[in-house]
Structure 1
Amino acid sequence: MSLARVLVDVRPLRTSPVFRRLLIGRTASILGSFMTVVTVMFQVWDMTHSAVWSGAVGLAQAVPLVVVGLFAGSWVDRGDRRRIFLVATIGQAVCSLLLAVQGFTGNVPVIGILALVAAGSSFSAVGGPAAGVFVPRLLPKDQVAAGLALNQVTAQSMMLIGPALGGLFLGWFGIGVCYLIDALSFGLAFYGAFGLPALPPEGEPSRPGLHGVLDGLRFLGGHRVVRGALITDLAATVLAMPMSLFPLVNEERFGGNPRTLGLFLSAFALGGVTATAFSGRLTRLARPGAVMLCGAGIWGVAVTLFGLTTSAWAGLGLLVVAGAADSVSVLSRTTIVQTRTPDALLGRVTAAELIVGQAGPHLGNVRGGVVAGWTSGATALVTGGLLCVLAVAYVASSTPELRNGTTPE
């Protein structure tokens, strides 16, 4: 087998200069965002030493994604996706700048930090559906999966670098500098998208308001493959997301050092980068649904074993496996959504995917923090992982179109 067919497919970088510039800006922005993930997690834990408050960070991110996301998708399917994305990027940059100000002054209570996180999440809920149409509009259909893989491998690489860099910068310069770097990174994201052509929806524009939202939901309810893909991701994230437990595990096993807190997220990213870097063969397969189901099942098993292990380093190894499985599952899910959804509905369906892909983990973090508060961290991890495996098995058995790659009637 040719190595070129195994490694990530880089054809989109050669054939589309616009995609290449967009990818560079997106990568810089993601680096800053992951530095902020660690910074917020550390700041809230340092102020409260509470797993429940750590989980509340996820709630502050999840609620705006759900409330704003579906209506934003309807708006995106009526207007110029490029312009909407640029406005949302400016809003996210302002929120990060305000986080930096409070980081330098230190006069904002926890609830104020959560409010700024929620505001940034609201702008992300608008920009995400707009960006979701870029790849299928900029690339030929046979390169869409490859473009999505490049998006993912760069995101996973930044997830690997960002938390570790955030941990180092926290120790060297403090929380204000970490937030400021995130704010500046949105400038590159703005530059990357500024050169895009106008991208109005193809086909009949979305109806305004609630009617447009309901049209998107009806499509999701009637398309068994897309619906099954989103339900699978919900099972993996809401039931088995372990990140809100990382500060607790870090304190128990690593003495609460902020530099080592980034290792947990970096372990996820290491597995994700490796899996995506060798995704060339996966992106050429005709059955992404089966690949997604296998990845989600392995994720659940790895989280369960992470909850059972007593070795911190063995736990990090399991997180690498979990990150690889999650990366494969997410890539397959996104390919299903992007290739099975008409362009006129893509903003709304992408919004639903973002709600699942982003709000799902945040809600899972809340679940993990609450269960750990009632019982223990190990119980929260083991029960969540087992429930995830059972839920994925149910979706696989009840949706043969997803397993077999057939087109639903």
Structure 2
Amino acid sequence: MIDTRPLGVPAFRRIWLGQAVSHVGVGVTVVAVGQQVWELTHSSFYVGLLGMANLIPLIVFGLWGGAVADAVDRRKLLIVGSLIAWAATLFILGQAAIGMENVWLIFAAVAVNSTGFAITGPTRGAIIPRLVERELVPAANALNSLVYSIGAVAGPMIGAVALAGGGFAAAYMVDAVLFTASLYAALKLPSLPPLGEVTRPGARAVWEGLTFISRSPVLLMSFVVDIIAMVFALPRALFPELTDQSFGGSPTALGWLTAAMAIGSVVGALFSGWVSRVSRQGVALIVVIALWGVAVAAAGLAHDLWLVVAFMAVGGVADVISSVWRQSILQLYAPDEMRGRLQGVFMVVVAGGPRLGEMRAGATAAAFGLTGAWVGGGVACAITVIIVGLSVSGFRKFRVPQPAVQG
């Protein structure tokens, strides 16, 4: 079972609970905004463009936000980023409430929200090793993965109910209210000034972080395999079209599809106690990401809703295990004075990869059809990650360093 010892640290417990509540609201908005764009355009390509609206701010402000996190009080920066994201949520709520029905305004609101997330993501990741002991970092990451997964399950389900009962404004209102829990947790954090040598935020600081990663084959490949997984295989942008074609446009079906992967992630996180005992994490990452691709391909060939959900849930188990290993490798490799920058790169990859995947899914669906885009992406992911991952000997042979035995 999952290791809950980090919850014994009050500061971590507050930020964890705040994320648990606010991520439900994020899940509501994810299903609502995709459906709203689909209803305005009836195009999976435009739904995929939501990924680009997210991606550009993530790259720019994620890298910059990570550099800033190494130079200022991380508590203050987390509060600033949270307020930006909350303002964007209130804006998207306002446009739905007054019935603007302008897809470009939705893209703008998503971009501003992504800017806030690009600042808070690396900052929060850099904070974790300051709140818990080193040996508890993998457990803390597993707990965080559980939070994200629960939000991704409960959020779409609540979003489906809100869409059916009150429309888009009701769904966005849920997100706006629940987000206050995350903001409260940030306000209650202790002061977290930088440690060690402080590098002024800017291009040089970002470059130092990228250079650090490029000199470590294990760190670099941990990013590469995640990009392969998300860009090649993530089918999220195809959910509205599949719902419309196969399930009569049912909001409930859309909610299940959106939550399916996260259902598996919850199961995987709850039973993640064994994950820290795996020493050959390079090979293990290749295996679980190949499994993710195969599961996605199988889901694309299924015709019954329950079967699509089941296969995507299997993929979700593989994805959450991969996430825990990759995050822990990064946090334990990085010195504190570089954690913000490296978390910035991590966040750009983790959050940016799915956005590129949405764009890829939408574009290939327009060119090759829904099934071709979905199944082909999963198969390509499984094949590519095996070829690329096994070709780098340092990653293939990587083992987690074991602590020295005392006595």
Q: CA deviation at 1:407?
A: 7.5
Distance 2:199 2:383 in 1: 37
Q: Does 1:13 align with 2:4?
A: no
Deviations 1:116-157 (A, max 9, x none): 000110111011111011211111111110011011112111
Q: CA deviation at 1:284?
A: 3.5
Deviations 1:214-269 (A, max 9, x none): 10110111011111100000000011110001111111121011121010122111
Q: Is there any run of 5+ residues in structure 1 with no aligned partner, and where? A: 1-6
Amino acid at match of 2:373: A
Q: CA deviation at 1:400?
A: 3.1
Amino acid at match of 2:317: A
Amino acid at match of 2:6: P
User: Between the two proteins, what is the percent identity of the paired residues?
Assistant: 36
Deviations 1:177-201 (A, max 9, x none): 2112212222211111222222223
Q: Map 1:85-124; keep pairs closer than 5 Å.
A: 85-124=78-117
The worse-fitting range, judged by mean Cα deviation, of 362-371 and 307-316 is: 307-316
Number of the residue aligned with 1:258: 251
Q: CA deviation at 1:307?
A: 2.2
Aligned partner of 2:341 among 335, 348, 359: 348
Q: CA deviation at 1:108?
A: 4.3
Distance 1:186 1:38 in 2: 16
Aligned partner of 1:238 among 223, 231, 239: 231
TM superposition score normalised by structure 1: 0.95
Deviations 1:350-387 (A, max 9, x none): 11111111110011011100000011111112221122
Distance 2:158 2:276 in 1: 30
Amino acid at match of 2:211: R
Aligned partner of 1:329 among 319, 322, 325: 322
The worse-fitting range, judged by mean Cα deviation, of 182-191 and 42-51 is: 182-191
Distance 2:99 2:259 in 1: 27
Number of the residue aligned with 1:136: 129
User: Structure 1 406/320 Cα, relative in aligned 2: closer, same or farther at 3 Å?
Assistant: closer
Q: Is the 8 A contact 1:65 1:358 kept in 2?
A: yes
Q: Map 1:184-195; keep pairs closer than 5 Å.
A: 184-195=177-188
Q: Is the 8 A contact 2:48 2:237 kept in 1?
A: yes
Q: Is the 8 A contact 1:289 1:333 kept in 2?
A: no
Q: Is the 8 A contact 2:253 2:305 kept in 1?
A: no
Q: Does 1:197 align with 2:223?
A: no
Q: Is the 8 A contact 1:304 1:382 kept in 2?
A: yes
Q: Is the 8 A contact 2:157 2:255 kept in 1?
A: yes
Q: Is the 8 A contact 2:142 2:269 kept in 1?
A: yes
Distance 1:206 1:336 in 2: 23
Number of the residue aligned with 1:273: 266
Amino acid at match of 2:206: V
Size of the alignment, in residue pairs?
401
Q: Does 1:51 align with 2:29?
A: no
Aligned partner of 1:215 among 208, 230, 247: 208
Q: CA deviation at 1:59?
A: 1.2
Q: Secondary structure at the match of 2:274?
A: helix
Amino acid at match of 1:12: P
Q: Is the 8 A contact 2:279 2:399 kept in 1?
A: no
Distance 2:164 2:149 in 1: 23
TM superposition score normalised by structure 2: 0.95
Amino acid at match of 2:256: L
Q: Is the 8 A contact 1:401 1:407 kept in 2?
A: no
Q: Is the 8 A contact 1:244 1:365 kept in 2?
A: yes
Q: Secondary structure at the match of 1:126?
A: helix
Q: Which runs of 4+ in 1 moved over 6 A?
A: none
Q: CA deviation at 1:64?
A: 0.9
